[in-house]
């Protein structure tokens, strides 16, 4: 699989997760932040994060389709993923036990993939 295909799959995964957070914030965010996701204030943050990921994904997909500018969208996604990872690690004593390793694998892996993709796609 070439870099553009991997970048497209990464963006589609981000789009799916972001849309899921927007549509079912309690269900998806609950595994990440625990019971706060059941409350309106927790859902407000989850919906906002979901919208962020949808926007990043749509920007990346559009740039990949156009053949230029996707590196900047991938770097923006890397920043978002790194923030998710740092925030989760800072709260690791207050989130569900599997949240930190799961976010570490997903967000950390996405940052590492993005580090390669951002220069390989344009």
- Angstrom distance (rounded) from CA 92 to CA 114: 24
> What pLDDT band is residue 1 in, cutting at 50, 70 and 90?
confident
**Which two tokens mark 76?**
């923006």
- 50-74 pLDDT, tens digit per residue, is 999 999 999 999 999 999 999 999 9
- Angstrom distance (rounded) from CA 115 to CA 74: 8
For residue 67, the model assigns a pLDDT of: 92
Is the pLDDT at 95 greater than 90? The verdict is: yes
For residue 86, the model assigns a pLDDT of: 97
Q: Classify burial at 114, counting beta carbons within 10 Å of its beta carbon; exposed 0-12, middle 13-18, buried 19 or more.
A: buried
Domain ranges of the chain: 3-120
Q: Single out the residue of 5, 120, 119, 2 nearest to residue 61, CA to CA.
A: 5
- 0.85 surpassed by pTM: yes
């Amino acid at each position: 699989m070439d870099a553009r295909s991997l970048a497209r799959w990464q963006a589609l995964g981000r789009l799916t997760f972001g849309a899921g957070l927007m549509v079912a914030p309690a269900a998806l965010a609950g595994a990440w932040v625990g019971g706060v996701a059941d409350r309106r204030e927790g859902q407000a943050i989850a919906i906002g994060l979901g919208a962020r990921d949808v926007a990043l994904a749509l920007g990346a997909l559009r740039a990949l389709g156009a053949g230029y500018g996707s590196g900047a969208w991938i770097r923006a996604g890397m920043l978002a993923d790194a923030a998710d990872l740092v925030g989760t690690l800072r709260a690791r004593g207050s989130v569900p036990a599997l949240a930190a390793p799961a976010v570490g694998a997903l967000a950390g892996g996405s940052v590492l993939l993005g580090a390669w993709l951002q220069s390989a796609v344009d």
